[in-house]
Every structure is written in structure tokens, then in C-alpha cells.
Amino acid sequence: MTFVPFRRAPRPRPSDAEIARELRDHLDLEAEEIARGSARFEDAEFAARRRFGNVGLVHEATREAWGSLWLERLAQDLRFGLRMLRRTPTFSLIAVLCLAVGIGANAAILSWTDGIVRRPFPGVPNQDALVAVAGTAKGASGYDEMSWPDFMDLARGTTAFESFIASKITGTTLTGGDRAERVVGLLVSANYFDALGVRPMLGRGFLPGEDVGRGAHPVTLISYRLWQDRFRGDPRVVGATIRYYGVPHTIVGVTPPNFLGTFVGYAMQFWVPASQQAVFDGTYKLEDRTARWIEGFARLRPGVTLVQAQAQINAAARRLEAEYPNADRGRGIRVLSLSENPFDNAKVLKPMLRVGALVAAIVLLIVCANIANLLLVRALARRGEITVRQALGAGRGRLTRQLVTEGLILAVIGTVAGILIAYLSRNVLALFFAPRNGITLVFAADFNWRVLGTTLAIGLGSTLVFALVPALQTTKIDLAKALRAASPGMLGGHRARLRSALVLLQVSSSVVLLVGAGLMITSLSRLLVASPGFETKNVVTTGLNLFAAGYDTARAHRFQDDLLARVSTLGGVSGTALSQSLPFAPRPYDNGPILVDGYQTARDEQPTGDYNQVTPGYFQTLQIPLVAGRDFTTADVDTSAHVAIVSQAMAERYWPNASPIGKRLQLRGKWMRVVGVVGNIKYRSLTEAPQMLFYVPLTQNRPTVVYLFLRIRPTGTAPAMVGPALIRSIHAIDPNVSPSEILTMREQVNRSTSGQHIMVTLLIIFGGVALCLAAIGLYGVISYAVSQSTRELGVRTALGATPSQLIQLVISSGLRLTAIGVALGVALALGTTHLLGDLLFGVSPRDPIVIAVVIAIMAAASVIACMVPAWRAARLDPVRALRA
């Protein structure tokens, strides 16, 4: 027989009616017992109630002893809180809007940071194991690309990585159908899709070996979007052909809809193996160890740290340097996390996101301080209700929970609204970047569980903390004094001090944001008028890919000469030139190891230099000053002596105490004699230091991918009107050659300032919001102080104070509060604006003019905020004030 332990049957929880009946029976028994001692029953009943205590509190304690009371109280508090919010719709709307702005800003920054910096490649699993691989050069700052041979040697000579993935951004124009379309894509190694863990939704990826051989494997994968747009989702697209620069490529697969590629800012539309590199660049680079163009990645093996991986890479770099000294001397290799990838648009946005996170946090702090002030004012208006409830037995904890619950309701609504705002603005960053070569940039935010969880924690946590402070202050009441007092001023000065402290927090935070906005506005205004060292306003440029149109070097030579002769006769054109590279373009200038005649290199030093191939007239067309020597001439051809022109920075570096004219330098085994020195230009960033750059005659090499420059007379045709005539001139020579985007050099340069434009916009918007909130908070404090000082103001008026004196008294009180907040804000700004250092141009992070302007703005806002309560004080009736 199995023993079954005895268990007491659970007792059902009594209802409120049963508890009330039991308490009534207890009181009746107590009254009867007292009545036996000769007291009347009515007196005995009163004595029993007095002996028993507060029946309501005993009722609540009894219910709580049975459990589940907290849930009922929570439901009761929620219902009561919702009713209170409905009764004050203006307060509720203002509070929710403020919270939505503050929380939405933080949610947007979090989603952009996660989707652009931390996990930048949608559709790619396990991105934490992916690292960027970049080259370095001794004596040079920053990172550069790697050559294909070096990258392949890394893949064969290391064991810390599962795979190395080569890639390079490129683009082409698709023709046919009802429109021509500019599309962007990637040149990649054959293992690209397998190493990333991306499976095509149709067809296959690339096969081993399809990335080698000069033009040997013209195959491609296309994106889901391109499949839908140009092939209308036809499932038979695999096996069809598509032409890139006139070369037919067989479509072997379609990528998944959520996969955008591995270059932040662009949604890739096609992928081709590296064997097609010459189709897009015009020259074959897969066998040239000095041609650095690979922007690669690698996937770490499980358990391998970045430090261990870097140690192996360092050893591999030393082997390459020893084996190929002419190409790799003085060069190193770095592995970097994806957040530090130097090759895509994330490097432009990282400083903005860093500062944006600080700005969003400050805005949320200001919003929470404003909400705390609003809740405190609202609670003070309900002081009579709170006093009565506490007199009837409600404990301070119970009242505090009720007030905090009302804050929780606001926090939930505000957080949901903020997340909605952030989601709707997830692609707003792309609006700050002009389309490049007709292609719109994409910066998609990533609303994953990490972003949502963090946003909920920030929104609910911060609001509840700031709701708790006024709740605790409001429920801290001396009940006896409160019941006797007729004046609301009996609630004491500590609440006024709390409100003033909250306003100081808003004012000081607003000053920080306004100083940041002022610095960025000043910086951007100076950046937009800064000279990069060449003419920008009256120069028009466009690109031409003659290789894709089937031109060989000799034919390209004839086309280029014919084009320059034809466009030089266009109305308003005063100068024409061609070059291989375009300043401020995503495609970097060519570079390579150089030898300088007479310059003694260190043992581990390999001098390198960026160079550009240009035609005669290039410096005159772009107004780059010729400092010494001569310009290139039509006599500088492939059969004549090779010559070069160097920048001033290069001349000072390699010939510091002598003229470089007549000296020699060597590039890829070819010696050239320096015939001129020209002024320095900026061609990657307006904030960069002067670079060592040299120029060689385009007529001595004749690349098939070039850029055309036209200088327009200031009094002639507007630069924007040159486009149609230019296209007609090109098509008159060959209708199969189409230029790329036509734009002025000013437009080209301004595209490099997108990060500054974003920061200016964010700081202006949030600085304005913060200023308004600070003014509202200051108005509330002064208005409340005036209402609490009615009797004092009445006495002053009765004793002869004029309205102007009362106005001055009230405004000076507000200005004193503002002055303290501004002083704190300036101190904070001086300690934090250094974070804008890499975004500022031509302005100090501690610029006194900007700070002075901000102080003036805050003073004006303070006077405006104080005018309404000051005017109300000036119109006060002293008789009514003294009777109050």
C-alpha cells in the first residue's frame, strides 16, 4: 500500500464582502462587550471603532495577507492613471511628444549604429567573426588597399582564418529596354558567397577558379531587386545574359532579397568574379603586386582572437616583405573589426554616430528633466487630494506607487511613439548624401531585438527614475501642518529648489548642444568656401570608359585627341583636359612604390606616392598654380623621354634644400625626370594635410578610363547648361560611348562634406528642441514662483513698487537662474566639444565667438520665457493679493 502524504486543501481567498462582514462582526462583538459595562450601545460602538483602529487599513491588510493584492492595486493604479491623463489632455500630449522625441532620437542612433557599424551587412550570418584586412605603409597614416597577389598569399600562408574574401566596389550602365540605368556592384573572389554564408535564392554562386584568368569567366550574380526590375522576376533568368560595359555576362544566380552586399552605403545590384577586373578598370591588375585595389575581409576560425590573428598576419607580412622587397618593403597588414573598416561609407558616419549618441543622450536628459518638472507641477496641483488620501490612511508608499504608475503609463506611450518615429526615419541618413553617379545611397537601420530591448530599457528606466523624484517629493507631507494650512506655500521650499535644479539641468544641457551646433555651423560654412587648391566653381567634369566600349590603347588615343579638339570649340569653354583620376571620387588615385634619385631610404622604408595621369592644360584648366619649371606639352608622348611634375609637398619631402627640376624618380621600373612643381591640392578630404602627389603625362600611357574637365568662362554659359552640348560632342565621335554623371567640381567637392551636413542638421534640430524645453521649464519655474509670491508682490505694490520694478524683479530672478545654468553649460561644453575635433574645420572647439553667441541666445530665451509671468505680476491687484 503506497503512502500518500496528507496535504491541506487550498483555502479559497475570501471576497471583499466576506472580509467586510467578518470585520463588522468583530466590531459588533467588541461593542457588545463594552456595553456590558453600563455604557450605551452607541457609545460602545464608537469606543470599539476607536480601539480597533482604521477599518479601511485593516481591510486592506487582510486582503494583502491573502496575496494577489498587488495585482489588483496595479490594475487600479493603471485605471486611475489613465483617467487622470484623459482629464489633462494638454499635459499628456506635451509629455508624450517630449518623450517620443527624446526616446526616438536614441532609438534611431542605436539602430543606425547597429546597422552601419556593428553589423553592417544584412543577410550575412555570424558577422562577429568577420574582420577587415587593410594595408599600411611605414611613415604614412591611415590604411590602404592590398594587391591581389599579396591577398592570395595571405590566404595560403595563414591558419587563423577560415577564409579570405576579396572585394572591390565598381559600377556600370545597363542599357536596353525602356531606359539606361546606372548600377553598382562588386568585383569579388570566387569564394565570396560561400565564405559569407550567403546562399543564392536562384542558381549558384561562383565556382573555384572563376576569379582567375584575364576575362576568362564572364559570369555574374544579380540582386533580387535587379531581377525584379529588369527581368520582372522571371525564374528562367539563370542562363540569360546581361551586358556590363558592352561585355555579355551569363547570369548564374540571384541573391536573397535581404542581402545588400558588403559595402556600407550601397545596395549592390551585381557581383562578378575578379577575372573581370579589366572590364571595369581598363587595365589588368591581378598579376601586379604593386597595384593595390583589394578591399578585403577575412573570417576568423572559432576561438581565434583578433590579437592572435594579427600576430599571424604580422608574420605573413614580414615574409612578403622579405620575398618581394621591391613591392612590399616597409609595408604592413592590419586586421580590423568591421566597426573599424576603413574602406566604405561607415568611416564617414562613425564620428557622426559617436557624437549623435551623445547628443541623443543629452536630449533625453533634457526631456526627462522637463517631464519631471511637469509631473511635479501636476502633483503640486493635486496636493489637496494627496493630503486627504494620506489623512484617510493611505501610506506614502501607496501614494508614491500611484504617481510612479502614472509616469510609467507616459513612459510606455512615449517609448512606443519614439520607436515608431525611429522606424519611420530609418532611411533618413541617405537624404544627406547626394546620388553618386546616379546611384542613391542606402543606410538602412537595423531594428533587431538588441535595439528594441535597449530602447525599452532606456525609455522606461529613465522616465521612471525622473518620475520617482517628484513622486517622493510630493508625498513628503507634514500632515498636521498641511491640514491646518490655507496657503499652498506651506508645501515648502524644497520643491521649488528641486524645480530650479531641473531647470538648471535643462539650461546647461541646452548650452552644450547649442555650442556644438554653433561650432558645426561655423565649421561647415568655412568648409563650403574652402579651396581644395584648384578651381571648383567654373569647372565641369564627367567620366568616360573607353575600354568597355571596345577601345584598345591606339583607338582610345585617337578618341581622346578628337574629343579635346571638339569640346574646346564649345561656346563658353576656355580650357579642356583629361586625367585618369578625379579628386574626391570614391575610386582612389593610383599609387605605387617609387625610388627618388639621391634620396637615401631607411632599411625598412619603401617610399610610395599617389599619382595622376593628365594631359597638357590640366593645371591651367583647374587653376592649379605652376610653382616652378614647365607644364606638360604635346611633345611629351610615349616615344619621348618620360617626365613628371611633383607637388610642393613632395618636393619639400625629397628635395628639401634643392630644386627638384631635373631630378629623377622611378615608378615601377621606369625612370622619369622632374620638369615642374605645382601647388598642393586636396583630393580625398578637405581636412587632410598636403599630400605627396606627382603627375605624369597621360599621353605617355593612354589609359582607357578617363575623366574630362571643361573650364567655363565666368561670363559665358552656365556650367549646368554645358551637359547637353557635351553629350552631343561625344556622340558625334562615337554614339556607343556614353559619359557618366556630369557635374561641377564644386558639387563633387561638396559630396565629401556629407558627414558635416548630418551633424549640423542634427545639432540644429536637437539644439532648438532643447532651447524650447529649457525655456518652457524656466517659464514654469518663474510662473510658479510668481503664484507662490502673490502676497509678497501685493505688499511691494502697496508700498509703492511700480509695474516696471516688478517686471524687473521677476525677470532678474529668471536671469539669475539662467546665468547659473549657462555657466555650468559652458563648463560642460569646454569639456565635451573636443569630441567634435575630427568634424571641425577652421574653428576651435572652444571658439569664444560661438560661446558668446550661445550665451546671448540663452539670455534672450530667458527674458522671453519670463515676460509672461512678469507681466502677470505687474498687473496684480494689491487688494486681492493681500486678501489671498
How many Cβ atoms from other residues are within 10 Å of residue 216's Cβ?
A: 12
**pLDDT tens track for 564-615:** 999 998 888 899 999 999 998 877 788 888 888 888 777 777 788 889 999 9
The H-or-E segment that residue 554 falls in is: helix 553-567
Would you say 470 and 491 are in contact if contact means Cβ atoms under 8 Å apart? no
Would you say 498 and 469 are in contact if contact means Cβ atoms under 8 Å apart? yes
pLDDT given for residue 89 in this prediction: 78
pLDDT given for residue 9 in this prediction: 44
CA distance 479 to 462: 31
CA angle, residues 534, 535, 541, in degrees to nearest 5: 105
Asked if residue 380 has pLDDT above 80, the reply is: no
Give residue 644's pLDDT band: very low, low, confident or very high (50, 70, 90). very high
pLDDT given for residue 524 in this prediction: 84
Q: Which range, of 373-377, 640-644, 695-699, averages the lowest pLDDT? A: 373-377
Helix (H, G, I), strand (E, B) or coil at 619: helix
Read off the pLDDT of each residue in 53-75 and give the average, rounded to a whole number. 60
Residue 291 or residue 223, greater confidence: 223
**pLDDT tens track for 515-573:** 888 888 888 888 888 889 999 888 999 988 887 777 888 888 899 999 999 999 888 88
pLDDT given for residue 871 in this prediction: 78
CB neighbours of 430 closer than 8 A, spacing ≥ 6? 440, 441, 442, 443
Give residue 671's pLDDT band: very low, low, confident or very high (50, 70, 90). very high
Helix (H, G, I), strand (E, B) or coil at 318: helix
CA distance 395 to 543: 78
**Residue 547 DSSP one-character state:** T
Give residue 201's pLDDT band: very low, low, confident or very high (50, 70, 90). very high
CA distance 147 to 135: 9
pLDDT given for residue 487 in this prediction: 42
Asked if residue 461 has pLDDT above 60, the reply is: yes
- Torsion angle of alpha carbons 111, 116, 117, 119, nearest 10°? 80
What does the H/E/C string look like for 654-709?
HCCCCCCCCCEEEECCEEEEEEEEECCCCCCCCCCCCCCEEEEEHHHCCCCEEEEE
CA angle, residues 850, 856, 858, in degrees to nearest 5: 105
Residue 477 or residue 689, greater confidence: 689
| DSSP, residue by residue, 439-486 | B--B------HHHHHHHHHHHHHHHHHHHHHHHHHHT---HHHHHH--
Read off the pLDDT of each residue in 469-497 and give the average, rounded to a whole number. 51
Read off the pLDDT of each residue in 185-199 and give the average, rounded to a whole number. 95
CA distance 580 to 518: 39
Residue reference for cell 535595439: 451
**pLDDT tens track for 141-186:** 778 889 999 999 998 888 999 999 999 998 887 765 545 677 899 9
Give residue 457's pLDDT band: very low, low, confident or very high (50, 70, 90). confident
- Sign of the torsion angle spanned by Cα atoms 394, 460, 425, 358: positive
pLDDT given for residue 872 in this prediction: 73
> How many residues would you count in the chain?
884
- Torsion angle of alpha carbons 37, 39, 43, 45, nearest 10°? 40
CA distance 112 to 33: 75
**pLDDT tens track for 342-375:** 888 777 778 778 888 888 888 888 888 877 777 7
Which cell numbers hold the place of 625?
A: 598654380
Expressed in angstroms, the distance from the first to the final Cα of the chain is: 86
Would you say 699 and 636 are in contact if contact means Cβ atoms under 8 Å apart? yes
Give residue 432's pLDDT band: very low, low, confident or very high (50, 70, 90). confident
Helix (H, G, I), strand (E, B) or coil at 291: coil
Give residue 437's pLDDT band: very low, low, confident or very high (50, 70, 90). low
Would you say 854 and 861 are in contact if contact means Cβ atoms under 8 Å apart? no
Q: Which range, of 612-616, 632-636, 691-695, 746-750, averages the lowest pLDDT? A: 746-750
Q: Which range, of 88-102, 220-234, 239-253, averages the lowest pLDDT? A: 88-102
CA distance 838 to 145: 23
CA distance 246 to 260: 25
Give residue 685's pLDDT band: very low, low, confident or very high (50, 70, 90). confident
pLDDT given for residue 174 in this prediction: 79
Helices (H) and strands (E) in the chain, counts: 27, 24
Q: Which residues pair with 609 in a beta bridge?
A: 592
Write down the mean pLDDT value for the chain. 81
Q: Which residues pair with 671 in a beta bridge?
A: 666
Q: How many CA atoms lie within 13 A of 493 on its CB side?
A: 1
Which cell numbers hold the place of 574?
A: 576656355
pLDDT given for residue 541 in this prediction: 92
CB neighbours of 768 closer than 8 A, spacing ≥ 6? none
Asked if residue 119 has pLDDT above 90, the reply is: no
Q: Which range, of 208-212, 331-335, 769-773, 876-880, averages the lowest pLDDT? A: 876-880
Residue 281 or residue 264, greater confidence: 264
- Report the amino acid identity of residue 449: W
**What are the backbone dihedrals phi and psi of residue 705, each rounded to the nearest 5 degrees, phi first?**
-115, 115
Residue 690 or residue 282, greater confidence: 690
- The pLDDT > 70 percentage for the chain reads 81
Q: Which of 748, 715, 754 is nearest to 535 (CA)?
A: 748
CA distance 352 to 373: 31
What's the Cα-to-Cα distance from 22 to each of 16, 19, 27, 35, 738, rounded to whole Å? 10, 5, 9, 20, 95
* Strands (E) located in 338-429: none
CB neighbours of 170 closer than 8 A, spacing ≥ 6? 184, 185, 186, 187, 272, 280, 281
Q: Which of 797, 24, 78, 855 is nearest to 518 (CA)?
A: 855
pTM here?
0.74
Give residue 662's pLDDT band: very low, low, confident or very high (50, 70, 90). very high
Residue reference for cell 494650512: 485
What's the Cα-to-Cα distance from 819 to each of 10, 160, 226, 493, rounded to whole Å? 66, 59, 59, 21
Q: Which of 16, 31, 27 is nearest to 62 (CA)?
A: 16
Which cell numbers hold the place of 609?
A: 606616392
pLDDT given for residue 839 in this prediction: 75
pLDDT given for residue 738 in this prediction: 78
Longest dimension (CA), the chain: 137
pLDDT given for residue 101 in this prediction: 84
Q: Which range, of 161-165, 212-216, 788-792, averages the lowest pLDDT? A: 788-792
Q: Which of 402-411, 798-807, 854-863 shows the highest mean pLDDT?
A: 854-863
